[in-house]
Structure 1
Protein backbone atom coordinates (compact mmCIF):
# COMPACT_ATOMS: atom_id res chain seq x y z
CA UNK A 1 0.00 0.00 0.00
CA UNK A 2 1.32 3.43 -0.96
CA UNK A 3 1.02 6.19 1.68
CA UNK A 4 0.87 9.85 0.63
CA UNK A 5 0.92 12.90 2.89
CA UNK A 6 1.18 15.45 0.08
CA UNK A 7 -1.88 16.21 -2.04
CA UNK A 8 0.32 17.14 -5.04
CA UNK A 9 2.17 13.80 -4.88
CA UNK A 10 -1.13 11.94 -4.61
CA UNK A 11 -2.61 13.79 -7.59
CA UNK A 12 0.44 12.94 -9.73
CA UNK A 13 0.18 9.25 -8.80
CA UNK A 14 -3.58 9.06 -9.44
CA UNK A 15 -3.22 10.87 -12.78
CA UNK A 16 -0.93 8.03 -13.88
CA UNK A 17 -3.47 5.46 -12.67
CA UNK A 18 -6.19 7.17 -14.70
CA UNK A 19 -3.94 7.20 -17.77
CA UNK A 20 -3.88 3.40 -17.48
CA UNK A 21 -7.69 3.44 -17.61
CA UNK A 22 -8.06 2.60 -13.92
CA UNK A 23 -11.26 3.66 -12.16
CA UNK A 24 -10.65 5.25 -8.75
CA UNK A 25 -12.69 4.19 -5.72
CA UNK A 26 -12.54 6.39 -2.63
CA UNK A 27 -13.38 5.90 1.05
CA UNK A 28 -12.90 9.05 3.18
CA UNK A 29 -12.47 8.34 6.91
CA UNK A 30 -11.32 9.97 10.13
CA UNK A 31 -9.32 6.91 11.12
CA UNK A 32 -9.86 4.68 14.16
CA UNK A 33 -10.91 2.13 11.56
CA UNK A 34 -13.23 -0.79 12.27
CA UNK A 35 -15.00 -3.50 10.30
CA UNK A 36 -17.60 -1.02 9.06
CA UNK A 37 -14.90 1.04 7.36
CA UNK A 38 -13.26 -2.10 5.99
CA UNK A 39 -16.56 -3.22 4.44
CA UNK A 40 -16.56 0.04 2.44
CA UNK A 41 -12.93 -0.44 1.43
CA UNK A 42 -13.56 -4.04 0.35
CA UNK A 43 -16.54 -2.91 -1.75
CA UNK A 44 -14.36 -0.27 -3.43
CA UNK A 45 -11.67 -2.88 -4.12
CA UNK A 46 -14.23 -5.20 -5.74
CA UNK A 47 -15.89 -2.54 -7.85
CA UNK A 48 -13.01 -0.26 -8.92
CA UNK A 49 -9.38 -0.63 -10.02
CA UNK A 50 -7.50 1.62 -7.59
CA UNK A 51 -8.82 2.12 -4.05
CA UNK A 52 -7.90 5.23 -2.08
CA UNK A 53 -8.66 5.66 1.63
CA UNK A 54 -8.11 8.98 3.39
CA UNK A 55 -7.54 9.39 7.12
CA UNK A 56 -8.11 12.96 8.25
CA UNK A 57 -9.70 14.13 11.50
CA UNK A 58 -11.38 17.25 10.17
CA UNK A 59 -11.37 20.07 12.74
CA UNK A 60 -14.06 22.17 11.04
CA UNK A 61 -16.84 19.61 11.53
CA UNK A 62 -16.46 19.41 15.32
CA UNK A 63 -18.61 21.84 17.29
CA UNK A 64 -17.14 20.42 20.52
CA UNK A 65 -13.36 20.89 20.90
CA UNK A 66 -13.18 18.21 23.61
CA UNK A 67 -14.69 15.71 21.18
CA UNK A 68 -12.07 16.69 18.59
CA UNK A 69 -9.21 16.39 21.08
CA UNK A 70 -10.39 12.99 22.32
CA UNK A 71 -11.20 11.52 18.91
CA UNK A 72 -9.33 8.19 18.83
CA UNK A 73 -6.11 8.14 16.79
CA UNK A 74 -4.86 4.66 15.90
CA UNK A 75 -2.74 5.22 12.79
CA UNK A 76 -0.48 2.14 13.01
CA UNK A 77 -3.45 -0.14 13.56
CA UNK A 78 -5.35 1.59 10.73
CA UNK A 79 -2.45 0.97 8.34
CA UNK A 80 -2.32 -2.71 9.34
CA UNK A 81 -6.08 -3.09 8.76
CA UNK A 82 -5.91 -1.44 5.33
CA UNK A 83 -2.95 -3.61 4.33
CA UNK A 84 -4.87 -6.70 5.47
CA UNK A 85 -7.57 -6.04 2.84
CA UNK A 86 -5.04 -5.01 0.14
CA UNK A 87 -5.98 -1.33 -0.06
CA UNK A 88 -3.95 0.42 -2.77
CA UNK A 89 -3.45 3.95 -1.46
CA UNK A 90 -3.70 5.77 1.88
CA UNK A 91 -3.88 9.57 1.92
CA UNK A 92 -2.85 10.87 5.35
CA UNK A 93 -2.55 14.67 5.17
CA UNK A 94 -1.88 17.20 7.93
CA UNK A 95 -4.35 19.96 8.77
CA UNK A 96 -2.03 22.50 7.09
CA UNK A 97 -1.86 20.36 3.95
CA UNK A 98 -5.66 20.52 3.60
CA UNK A 99 -6.40 24.02 4.90
CA UNK A 100 -3.19 25.96 4.19
CA UNK A 101 -3.26 27.40 7.74
CA UNK A 102 -6.76 28.82 7.14
CA UNK A 103 -8.81 26.37 9.21
CA UNK A 104 -12.26 27.76 8.41
CA UNK A 105 -15.24 25.99 6.89
CA UNK A 106 -16.93 27.21 3.73
CA UNK A 107 -20.63 28.08 3.96
CA UNK A 108 -22.99 25.78 2.09
CA UNK A 109 -26.64 25.69 1.14
CA UNK A 110 -27.83 22.10 1.00
CA UNK A 111 -31.47 23.03 0.29
CA UNK A 112 -32.45 22.67 3.95
CA UNK A 113 -31.01 19.19 4.52
CA UNK A 114 -28.41 20.74 6.84
CA UNK A 115 -31.05 22.22 9.18
CA UNK A 116 -32.65 18.90 10.16
CA UNK A 117 -31.67 16.54 12.99
CA UNK A 118 -27.89 16.76 13.46
CA UNK A 119 -27.94 20.31 12.11
CA UNK A 120 -30.13 21.39 15.03
CA UNK A 121 -27.68 20.07 17.61
CA UNK A 122 -24.24 20.50 15.99
CA UNK A 123 -23.71 24.08 14.92
CA UNK A 124 -21.74 24.39 11.66
CA UNK A 125 -21.18 20.64 11.45
CA UNK A 126 -22.33 20.20 7.85
CA UNK A 127 -20.41 23.24 6.62
CA UNK A 128 -17.34 21.40 7.94
CA UNK A 129 -18.40 18.15 6.28
CA UNK A 130 -19.06 19.91 2.96
CA UNK A 131 -15.71 21.70 3.13
CA UNK A 132 -13.60 18.58 3.68
CA UNK A 133 -15.51 16.28 1.32
CA UNK A 134 -15.40 18.86 -1.49
CA UNK A 135 -11.65 19.35 -0.90
CA UNK A 136 -10.97 15.61 -0.89
CA UNK A 137 -13.01 15.06 -4.05
CA UNK A 138 -10.99 17.80 -5.77
CA UNK A 139 -7.73 16.12 -4.71
CA UNK A 140 -8.60 12.47 -5.36
CA UNK A 141 -11.03 12.98 -8.29
CA UNK A 142 -12.63 9.57 -7.67
CA UNK A 143 -15.04 7.82 -10.01
CA UNK A 144 -16.97 6.33 -7.08
CA UNK A 145 -17.00 7.24 -3.37
CA UNK A 146 -18.38 4.99 -0.64
CA UNK A 147 -20.13 6.12 2.56
CA UNK A 148 -21.94 4.21 5.30
CA UNK A 149 -25.63 4.78 5.93
CA UNK A 150 -25.08 5.16 9.68
CA UNK A 151 -24.51 8.83 8.88
CA UNK A 152 -27.55 8.89 6.59
CA UNK A 153 -28.08 12.65 6.83
CA UNK A 154 -24.44 13.18 5.91
CA UNK A 155 -24.87 10.79 2.96
CA UNK A 156 -27.83 12.81 1.64
CA UNK A 157 -25.89 16.05 2.09
CA UNK A 158 -22.90 14.68 0.17
CA UNK A 159 -25.22 13.64 -2.66
CA UNK A 160 -26.60 17.20 -2.66
CA UNK A 161 -23.04 18.61 -2.65
CA UNK A 162 -22.15 16.54 -5.73
CA UNK A 163 -25.37 17.59 -7.47
CA UNK A 164 -25.04 21.33 -6.73
CA UNK A 165 -21.34 21.60 -7.58
CA UNK A 166 -21.50 19.23 -10.56
CA UNK A 167 -18.75 17.02 -9.12
CA UNK A 168 -18.25 14.00 -11.43
CA UNK A 169 -18.34 11.26 -8.79
CA UNK A 170 -20.89 8.54 -8.10
CA UNK A 171 -21.91 8.32 -4.43
CA UNK A 172 -22.66 4.87 -3.04
CA UNK A 173 -24.40 4.46 0.32
CA UNK A 174 -23.61 1.17 2.02
CA UNK A 175 -25.58 -0.67 4.75
CA UNK A 176 -24.90 0.02 8.43
CA UNK A 177 -22.33 -2.41 9.81
CA UNK A 178 -23.30 -3.63 13.29
CA UNK A 179 -21.79 -5.47 16.21
CA UNK A 180 -23.33 -8.87 16.96
CA UNK A 181 -25.51 -7.25 19.64
CA UNK A 182 -26.88 -4.69 17.14
CA UNK A 183 -24.86 -1.61 18.12
CA UNK A 184 -23.91 0.38 15.03
CA UNK A 185 -20.14 0.31 14.60
CA UNK A 186 -18.49 3.65 15.33
CA UNK A 187 -15.00 4.81 16.20
CA UNK A 188 -16.54 6.41 19.30
CA UNK A 189 -17.62 3.01 20.65
CA UNK A 190 -14.04 2.46 21.84
CA UNK A 191 -14.51 5.33 24.31
CA UNK A 192 -17.57 3.78 25.99
CA UNK A 193 -17.23 2.55 29.56
CA UNK A 194 -17.93 -1.15 30.10
CA UNK A 195 -21.30 -0.27 31.65
CA UNK A 196 -22.33 2.02 28.81
CA UNK A 197 -21.11 -0.45 26.17
CA UNK A 198 -23.36 -3.10 27.67
CA UNK A 199 -26.31 -0.68 27.68
CA UNK A 200 -25.80 0.74 24.16
CA UNK A 201 -27.47 -2.08 22.12
CA UNK A 202 -30.75 -0.83 23.64
CA UNK A 203 -30.67 1.89 20.94
CA UNK A 204 -31.01 -0.51 18.00
CA UNK A 205 -33.44 -2.68 19.95
CA UNK A 206 -35.77 0.31 20.39
CA UNK A 207 -35.43 1.28 16.73
CA UNK A 208 -36.55 -2.20 15.68
CA UNK A 209 -39.50 -2.14 18.10
CA UNK A 210 -40.50 1.31 16.87
CA UNK A 211 -40.46 0.09 13.26
CA UNK A 212 -42.90 -2.69 14.13
CA UNK A 213 -45.41 -0.07 15.30
CA UNK A 214 -45.79 1.55 11.88
CA UNK A 215 -48.82 -0.58 11.06
CA UNK A 216 -50.83 0.57 14.08
CA UNK A 217 -49.37 3.92 15.18
CA UNK A 218 -48.71 7.22 13.45
CA UNK A 219 -45.27 8.84 13.53
CA UNK A 220 -46.12 11.19 16.39
CA UNK A 221 -47.29 8.31 18.60
CA UNK A 222 -44.15 6.27 17.83
CA UNK A 223 -41.93 9.24 18.73
CA UNK A 224 -43.72 9.64 22.09
CA UNK A 225 -43.33 5.92 22.77
CA UNK A 226 -39.57 6.01 22.07
CA UNK A 227 -39.11 9.10 24.26
CA UNK A 228 -40.86 7.32 27.14
CA UNK A 229 -38.64 4.24 26.75
CA UNK A 230 -35.52 6.36 27.20
CA UNK A 231 -36.97 8.30 30.13
CA UNK A 232 -37.05 4.99 31.97
CA UNK A 233 -33.47 4.00 31.07
CA UNK A 234 -30.93 4.61 33.85
CA UNK A 235 -27.81 4.98 31.66
CA UNK A 236 -28.82 6.31 28.24
CA UNK A 237 -30.04 9.85 27.62
CA UNK A 238 -32.04 10.55 24.47
CA UNK A 239 -31.03 13.72 22.63
CA UNK A 240 -33.52 13.31 19.81
CA UNK A 241 -35.63 10.74 18.00
CA UNK A 242 -37.46 11.64 14.83
CA UNK A 243 -39.06 10.00 11.84
CA UNK A 244 -38.30 11.79 8.60
CA UNK A 245 -38.94 11.43 4.90
CA UNK A 246 -35.73 10.09 3.36
CA UNK A 247 -35.37 12.54 0.49
CA UNK A 248 -36.03 15.84 2.32
CA UNK A 249 -35.20 14.69 5.88
CA UNK A 250 -38.23 16.68 7.06
CA UNK A 251 -39.80 15.21 10.19
CA UNK A 252 -43.19 13.57 9.80
CA UNK A 253 -46.15 13.22 12.16
CA UNK A 254 -48.03 10.77 9.95
CA UNK A 255 -47.10 8.39 7.17
CA UNK A 256 -48.05 9.23 3.58
CA UNK A 257 -48.26 6.62 0.83
CA UNK A 258 -45.42 6.31 -1.71
CA UNK A 259 -42.92 8.09 0.54
CA UNK A 260 -39.90 6.47 2.18
CA UNK A 261 -39.32 7.12 5.86
CA UNK A 262 -36.40 6.56 8.19
CA UNK A 263 -36.11 6.92 11.96
CA UNK A 264 -33.11 8.82 13.29
CA UNK A 265 -31.78 8.81 16.84
CA UNK A 266 -29.00 10.42 18.88
CA UNK A 267 -28.26 9.19 22.40
CA UNK A 268 -25.71 10.05 25.07
CA UNK A 269 -24.06 7.08 26.78
CA UNK A 270 -22.30 9.06 29.48
CA UNK A 271 -20.28 11.67 27.56
CA UNK A 272 -20.22 9.63 24.33
CA UNK A 273 -22.77 10.59 21.71
CA UNK A 274 -24.10 7.73 19.56
CA UNK A 275 -26.26 8.00 16.45
CA UNK A 276 -28.20 5.39 14.52
CA UNK A 277 -31.08 5.10 12.06
CA UNK A 278 -33.37 2.53 10.51
CA UNK A 279 -35.61 2.51 7.45
CA UNK A 280 -39.32 2.30 8.27
CA UNK A 281 -41.77 0.25 6.26
CA UNK A 282 -44.63 2.47 5.17
CA UNK A 283 -47.71 0.28 5.44
Structure 2
Protein backbone atom coordinates (compact mmCIF):
# COMPACT_ATOMS: atom_id res chain seq x y z
CA UNK A 1 0.00 0.00 0.00
CA UNK A 2 1.29 3.42 -0.95
CA UNK A 3 0.73 6.57 1.10
CA UNK A 4 0.68 9.65 -1.11
CA UNK A 5 0.51 13.26 0.07
CA UNK A 6 0.47 15.34 -3.12
CA UNK A 7 -1.99 15.69 -5.98
CA UNK A 8 0.71 15.45 -8.64
CA UNK A 9 2.10 12.19 -7.23
CA UNK A 10 -1.36 10.68 -6.92
CA UNK A 11 -2.27 11.58 -10.49
CA UNK A 12 0.99 10.08 -11.75
CA UNK A 13 0.30 6.88 -9.81
CA UNK A 14 -3.26 6.60 -11.12
CA UNK A 15 -2.38 7.04 -14.81
CA UNK A 16 -1.83 3.31 -15.12
CA UNK A 17 -5.35 2.55 -13.86
CA UNK A 18 -8.68 2.92 -15.66
CA UNK A 19 -11.27 2.16 -12.95
CA UNK A 20 -10.29 3.49 -9.53
CA UNK A 21 -12.66 2.69 -6.67
CA UNK A 22 -12.63 5.45 -4.07
CA UNK A 23 -13.54 5.77 -0.40
CA UNK A 24 -13.23 9.33 0.96
CA UNK A 25 -12.82 9.60 4.75
CA UNK A 26 -11.73 12.03 7.43
CA UNK A 27 -9.61 9.38 9.11
CA UNK A 28 -9.88 8.13 12.70
CA UNK A 29 -11.08 4.95 11.02
CA UNK A 30 -13.34 2.26 12.47
CA UNK A 31 -14.70 -1.03 11.15
CA UNK A 32 -17.42 0.80 9.22
CA UNK A 33 -14.82 2.61 7.12
CA UNK A 34 -12.90 -0.60 6.55
CA UNK A 35 -16.07 -2.34 5.37
CA UNK A 36 -16.48 0.38 2.73
CA UNK A 37 -12.92 -0.23 1.54
CA UNK A 38 -13.60 -3.97 1.38
CA UNK A 39 -16.78 -3.23 -0.58
CA UNK A 40 -14.88 -0.97 -2.99
CA UNK A 41 -12.01 -3.38 -3.61
CA UNK A 42 -13.67 -5.73 -6.17
CA UNK A 43 -15.28 -2.85 -8.08
CA UNK A 44 -12.25 -1.24 -9.66
CA UNK A 45 -8.69 -1.96 -10.71
CA UNK A 46 -7.20 0.04 -7.82
CA UNK A 47 -8.65 0.98 -4.43
CA UNK A 48 -8.01 4.48 -3.13
CA UNK A 49 -8.94 5.88 0.28
CA UNK A 50 -8.47 9.52 1.17
CA UNK A 51 -7.86 10.85 4.67
CA UNK A 52 -8.51 14.55 5.03
CA UNK A 53 -10.22 16.52 7.79
CA UNK A 54 -12.14 19.09 5.78
CA UNK A 55 -12.33 22.47 7.46
CA UNK A 56 -15.10 23.65 5.11
CA UNK A 57 -17.71 21.32 6.65
CA UNK A 58 -17.16 22.36 10.27
CA UNK A 59 -18.96 25.25 11.92
CA UNK A 60 -16.83 27.61 14.06
CA UNK A 61 -18.00 26.00 17.33
CA UNK A 62 -17.51 22.41 16.12
CA UNK A 63 -14.61 20.04 16.65
CA UNK A 64 -12.33 20.73 13.67
CA UNK A 65 -9.25 21.46 15.77
CA UNK A 66 -9.79 18.52 18.12
CA UNK A 67 -10.96 15.97 15.54
CA UNK A 68 -8.54 13.03 15.92
CA UNK A 69 -5.77 12.84 13.33
CA UNK A 70 -4.56 9.23 13.42
CA UNK A 71 -2.86 8.68 10.07
CA UNK A 72 -0.37 6.02 11.17
CA UNK A 73 -3.04 3.92 12.88
CA UNK A 74 -5.42 4.43 9.96
CA UNK A 75 -2.87 3.18 7.46
CA UNK A 76 -2.22 0.11 9.61
CA UNK A 77 -5.93 -0.70 9.33
CA UNK A 78 -6.31 0.11 5.64
CA UNK A 79 -3.58 -2.17 4.31
CA UNK A 80 -5.16 -5.46 5.44
CA UNK A 81 -8.58 -4.20 4.29
CA UNK A 82 -7.28 -4.20 0.71
CA UNK A 83 -6.53 -0.52 0.17
CA UNK A 84 -3.90 0.09 -2.50
CA UNK A 85 -3.38 3.84 -2.14
CA UNK A 86 -3.97 6.25 0.74
CA UNK A 87 -4.22 9.86 -0.33
CA UNK A 88 -3.46 11.99 2.73
CA UNK A 89 -2.93 15.61 1.69
CA UNK A 90 -2.36 18.39 4.15
CA UNK A 91 -4.58 21.45 4.07
CA UNK A 92 -2.20 23.53 1.97
CA UNK A 93 -2.07 20.80 -0.66
CA UNK A 94 -5.83 20.58 -1.08
CA UNK A 95 -6.53 24.28 -0.45
CA UNK A 96 -3.39 26.15 -1.57
CA UNK A 97 -5.45 29.34 -1.48
CA UNK A 98 -8.78 30.17 0.19
CA UNK A 99 -11.50 28.13 -1.52
CA UNK A 100 -13.51 30.87 -3.22
CA UNK A 101 -15.34 28.49 -5.57
CA UNK A 102 -17.81 26.25 -3.79
CA UNK A 103 -20.41 23.67 -4.80
CA UNK A 104 -23.78 24.85 -3.50
CA UNK A 105 -26.35 22.03 -3.32
CA UNK A 106 -30.07 22.82 -3.67
CA UNK A 107 -31.65 24.17 -0.52
CA UNK A 108 -34.61 21.77 -0.63
CA UNK A 109 -32.25 18.90 0.11
CA UNK A 110 -29.27 20.56 1.78
CA UNK A 111 -30.92 23.02 4.18
CA UNK A 112 -33.08 20.47 6.01
CA UNK A 113 -32.18 18.01 8.78
CA UNK A 114 -28.37 18.13 9.05
CA UNK A 115 -28.24 21.28 6.94
CA UNK A 116 -30.69 23.07 9.23
CA UNK A 117 -28.61 22.43 12.33
CA UNK A 118 -25.23 22.68 10.60
CA UNK A 119 -25.62 25.57 8.11
CA UNK A 120 -23.22 25.31 5.18
CA UNK A 121 -22.27 21.74 6.04
CA UNK A 122 -23.29 20.28 2.70
CA UNK A 123 -21.62 23.07 0.75
CA UNK A 124 -18.39 22.08 2.48
CA UNK A 125 -19.01 18.39 1.84
CA UNK A 126 -19.89 18.85 -1.83
CA UNK A 127 -16.95 21.15 -2.44
CA UNK A 128 -14.34 18.79 -1.00
CA UNK A 129 -15.91 15.65 -2.50
CA UNK A 130 -16.13 17.26 -5.95
CA UNK A 131 -12.51 18.33 -5.63
CA UNK A 132 -11.44 14.84 -4.56
CA UNK A 133 -13.40 13.36 -7.45
CA UNK A 134 -11.53 15.68 -9.83
CA UNK A 135 -8.22 14.54 -8.36
CA UNK A 136 -8.86 10.79 -8.12
CA UNK A 137 -11.13 10.44 -11.19
CA UNK A 138 -12.81 7.36 -9.73
CA UNK A 139 -15.18 5.08 -11.61
CA UNK A 140 -16.82 4.08 -8.33
CA UNK A 141 -17.13 5.86 -4.97
CA UNK A 142 -18.44 4.23 -1.81
CA UNK A 143 -20.19 6.08 1.01
CA UNK A 144 -21.77 4.81 4.21
CA UNK A 145 -25.52 4.72 4.77
CA UNK A 146 -25.17 6.15 8.29
CA UNK A 147 -24.72 9.56 6.68
CA UNK A 148 -28.01 9.09 4.84
CA UNK A 149 -28.60 12.67 3.75
CA UNK A 150 -24.95 13.14 2.79
CA UNK A 151 -24.88 10.19 0.41
CA UNK A 152 -28.12 11.43 -1.16
CA UNK A 153 -26.68 14.93 -1.65
CA UNK A 154 -23.54 13.48 -3.24
CA UNK A 155 -25.53 11.14 -5.45
CA UNK A 156 -27.59 14.09 -6.76
CA UNK A 157 -24.46 16.17 -7.28
CA UNK A 158 -22.88 13.42 -9.38
CA UNK A 159 -26.06 13.12 -11.46
CA UNK A 160 -26.55 16.83 -12.07
CA UNK A 161 -22.87 17.47 -12.80
CA UNK A 162 -22.80 14.48 -15.19
CA UNK A 163 -19.79 13.02 -13.42
CA UNK A 164 -18.85 9.56 -14.76
CA UNK A 165 -18.93 8.01 -11.29
CA UNK A 166 -21.18 5.33 -9.84
CA UNK A 167 -22.06 6.04 -6.21
CA UNK A 168 -22.30 2.93 -4.05
CA UNK A 169 -23.88 3.00 -0.59
CA UNK A 170 -22.50 0.66 2.06
CA UNK A 171 -24.74 -0.49 4.92
CA UNK A 172 -24.36 1.02 8.37
CA UNK A 173 -22.05 -1.01 10.56
CA UNK A 174 -23.14 -1.36 14.19
CA UNK A 175 -21.64 -2.47 17.48
CA UNK A 176 -23.06 -5.59 19.10
CA UNK A 177 -25.61 -3.53 21.05
CA UNK A 178 -26.83 -1.71 17.92
CA UNK A 179 -24.95 1.59 18.17
CA UNK A 180 -23.96 2.85 14.72
CA UNK A 181 -20.18 2.96 14.40
CA UNK A 182 -18.85 6.51 14.26
CA UNK A 183 -15.50 8.20 14.72
CA UNK A 184 -17.17 10.46 17.28
CA UNK A 185 -18.14 7.51 19.48
CA UNK A 186 -14.64 7.84 20.87
CA UNK A 187 -15.70 11.07 22.58
CA UNK A 188 -18.21 9.20 24.76
CA UNK A 189 -17.49 8.42 28.40
CA UNK A 190 -18.16 4.81 29.51
CA UNK A 191 -21.53 5.83 30.95
CA UNK A 192 -22.42 7.75 27.79
CA UNK A 193 -21.35 4.82 25.63
CA UNK A 194 -23.76 2.56 27.49
CA UNK A 195 -26.56 5.10 26.99
CA UNK A 196 -25.73 5.87 23.35
CA UNK A 197 -27.55 2.80 22.02
CA UNK A 198 -30.84 4.49 22.98
CA UNK A 199 -30.67 6.55 19.79
CA UNK A 200 -30.90 3.48 17.58
CA UNK A 201 -33.50 1.93 19.88
CA UNK A 202 -35.64 5.05 19.66
CA UNK A 203 -35.44 4.97 15.87
CA UNK A 204 -36.38 1.30 15.96
CA UNK A 205 -39.44 2.26 17.98
CA UNK A 206 -40.41 4.83 15.37
CA UNK A 207 -39.94 2.29 12.59
CA UNK A 208 -42.02 -0.27 14.44
CA UNK A 209 -44.88 2.20 14.81
CA UNK A 210 -44.86 2.83 11.07
CA UNK A 211 -44.72 -0.88 10.33
CA UNK A 212 -47.79 -1.37 12.54
CA UNK A 213 -49.63 0.99 10.23
CA UNK A 214 -49.50 4.20 12.26
CA UNK A 215 -49.58 7.28 10.00
CA UNK A 216 -49.57 10.06 12.60
CA UNK A 217 -45.94 10.99 12.09
CA UNK A 218 -46.20 14.06 14.33
CA UNK A 219 -47.19 11.85 17.26
CA UNK A 220 -44.47 9.32 16.46
CA UNK A 221 -41.85 12.07 16.32
CA UNK A 222 -43.06 13.75 19.52
CA UNK A 223 -42.96 10.50 21.45
CA UNK A 224 -39.42 9.85 20.24
CA UNK A 225 -38.26 13.35 21.16
CA UNK A 226 -39.80 13.05 24.62
CA UNK A 227 -38.24 9.63 25.11
CA UNK A 228 -34.69 10.78 24.39
CA UNK A 229 -35.08 14.13 26.13
CA UNK A 230 -36.33 12.34 29.21
CA UNK A 231 -33.09 10.37 29.30
CA UNK A 232 -30.93 13.52 29.26
CA UNK A 233 -30.31 13.77 25.52
CA UNK A 234 -30.62 17.00 23.54
CA UNK A 235 -32.21 15.99 20.21
CA UNK A 236 -31.91 18.12 17.09
CA UNK A 237 -34.42 16.00 15.19
CA UNK A 238 -36.12 12.62 15.23
CA UNK A 239 -38.23 12.48 12.14
CA UNK A 240 -40.04 10.41 9.53
CA UNK A 241 -39.18 11.26 5.92
CA UNK A 242 -39.69 9.95 2.41
CA UNK A 243 -36.67 8.13 1.08
CA UNK A 244 -37.00 9.70 -2.34
CA UNK A 245 -36.47 13.33 -1.27
CA UNK A 246 -36.27 13.46 2.55
CA UNK A 247 -39.49 15.48 2.71
CA UNK A 248 -42.25 14.59 5.22
CA UNK A 249 -44.82 12.07 3.96
CA UNK A 250 -47.89 13.85 2.62
CA UNK A 251 -50.52 11.17 2.10
CA UNK A 252 -51.35 7.47 2.22
CA UNK A 253 -49.36 6.85 -0.95
CA UNK A 254 -46.18 7.76 0.94
CA UNK A 255 -46.64 5.00 3.49
CA UNK A 256 -45.70 1.49 2.58
CA UNK A 257 -42.77 -0.86 2.23
CA UNK A 258 -39.48 0.73 1.13
CA UNK A 259 -40.84 4.28 1.05
CA UNK A 260 -39.81 5.84 4.35
CA UNK A 261 -36.75 6.41 6.49
CA UNK A 262 -36.53 7.53 10.12
CA UNK A 263 -33.59 9.77 10.94
CA UNK A 264 -32.24 11.17 14.16
CA UNK A 265 -29.54 13.48 15.46
CA UNK A 266 -29.03 14.20 19.14
CA UNK A 267 -26.35 15.29 21.57
CA UNK A 268 -25.39 13.09 24.49
CA UNK A 269 -23.20 15.14 26.74
CA UNK A 270 -20.89 16.97 24.33
CA UNK A 271 -21.09 14.34 21.59
CA UNK A 272 -23.49 14.65 18.67
CA UNK A 273 -24.61 11.35 17.19
CA UNK A 274 -26.66 10.59 14.07
CA UNK A 275 -28.41 7.46 12.85
CA UNK A 276 -31.20 6.30 10.55
CA UNK A 277 -33.28 3.27 9.68
CA UNK A 278 -35.10 2.61 6.42
CA UNK A 279 -38.67 1.40 6.84
Residues 1:192 and 2:192 aligned together: no
CA distance in 2, matches of 1:109, 1:33: 27
CA distance in 1, matches of 2:239, 2:276: 10
Superposed CA RMSD: 1.6
CA-CA distance at 1:107 after TM superposition: 4.4
* Native 8 Å contact 1:95 1:101 kept in 2: no
Q: Which residue of 1 aligns with 2:82?
A: 86
- The ranges of structure 1 where at least 4 consecutive aligned residues each deviate by more than 4 angstroms after the TM superposition are none
CA-CA distance at 1:65 after TM superposition: 4.3
TM-score by length of 2: 0.94
Gaps of 5+ in 1: none
CA-CA distance at 1:179 after TM superposition: 0.6
Per mean C-alpha deviation after superposition, the further-off stretch among 120-129 and 59-68 is 59-68
CA-CA distance at 1:231 after TM superposition: 2.6
Per mean C-alpha deviation after superposition, the further-off stretch among 79-88 and 154-163 is 79-88
* Native 8 Å contact 1:105 1:128 kept in 2: no
CA distance in 1, matches of 2:123, 2:229: 32
Query: What do the CA deviations read for 1:129-175 (whole angstroms, capped 9, x no partner)?
Result: 01000000000000000000000100000011101111110000111
Residues 1:220 and 2:210 aligned together: no
CA-CA distance at 1:109 after TM superposition: 3.1
Q: Which residue of 1 aligns with 2:118?
A: 122
Residues 1:245 and 2:239 aligned together: no
Residues 1:12 and 2:12 aligned together: yes
Shift of the 37–212 alpha-carbon distance from structure 1 to 2, 3 Å rule, reads same
Please state whether the residue corresponding to 1:159 is helix, strand or coil: helix
Alignment of 1:20-35 (within 5 A): 23-35=19-31
* Native 8 Å contact 1:105 1:127 kept in 2: no
Gaps of 5+ in 2: none
TM-score by length of 1: 0.93
